[in-house]
Each structure stands twice: as structure tokens, then as C-alpha cells.
Amino acid sequence: MFKKTTMKSDFTKLNLEQQEKIIDVLKQKKYKGRTLNGISSETKIAADLIKANIKWNNDFARKLKILPNRTDSGKVLITTKERFVNDASLKEKFTDFFATKRQEIEVGE
């Protein structure tokens, strides 16, 4: 069982199978980006565990991209870097390139 953590030294790393599950969900063409809850719901991996790994597991985080825009309700959207490069519009890439405040995922929210 994953325990909620707010400290880097305290988090549990996702195993490779879990990481691939998340990447596969993010590659689905049905959605441009996914929220943490959407990823969690589909993979059955705790949202807090995913969030901690995006924040502190550099090898995993390098594969992901936090989109420069949010959902209508203000939730962060996540995709893969590969998908962002291949599928994002010129406007989205431009917005991302010139963004002065990057979207972040805060652990413990």
C-alpha cells in the first residue's frame, strides 16, 4: 500500500511495469492530455504515487510533459514528451516555449 508522502526521501518509486502502464494511458489518442485522477482511475495506481514520481523520479519524469494549459476546472494535464512534440499544435508549442510560469504538480495538494 502506498502511503501519502510530501518528502522526496519518503516516496516509493514506480516499477517499470507501472511506468509503462501510465505511458500507455497517455498515448491513447482519445485524450490530448490526462489529469492525475484520469491516469489513476485507468491504471489503478494511486494518484499520490503518480504525483510523487512525476516530482521526484527523474527517469520517469523525463518521459512526461505537463501541458501549458489546464482543464476548465483548473486541473493539470499530462502527456508524454514524444506525443507533445508530434501532436501539439504550433500555438501550443509556442505557448509552452514562451511560458513564464510553468505548470507544476505539487506533492501533498
pLDDT band, residue 6 (cuts 50/70/90): low
For residue 75, count CB atoms less than 10 angstroms from its CB and return exposed for 0-12, middle for 13-18, buried for 19 or more.
middle
In angstroms, the CA 83 to CA 24 distance is: 11
For residue 104, what is its C-alpha cell? 507544476
pLDDT exceeds 50 at position 74: yes
List, for residues 24-61, the tens digit of each pLDDT value: 999 999 999 999 999 999 999 999 999 999 988 999 99
Give the whole-angstrom CA distance, residue 100 versus residue 109: 22
Q: In order of start, what are the domains of the chain with their CATH numbers?
A: 14-98 (1.10.10.10)
Number of neighbouring beta carbons within 10 Å of residue 61: 15
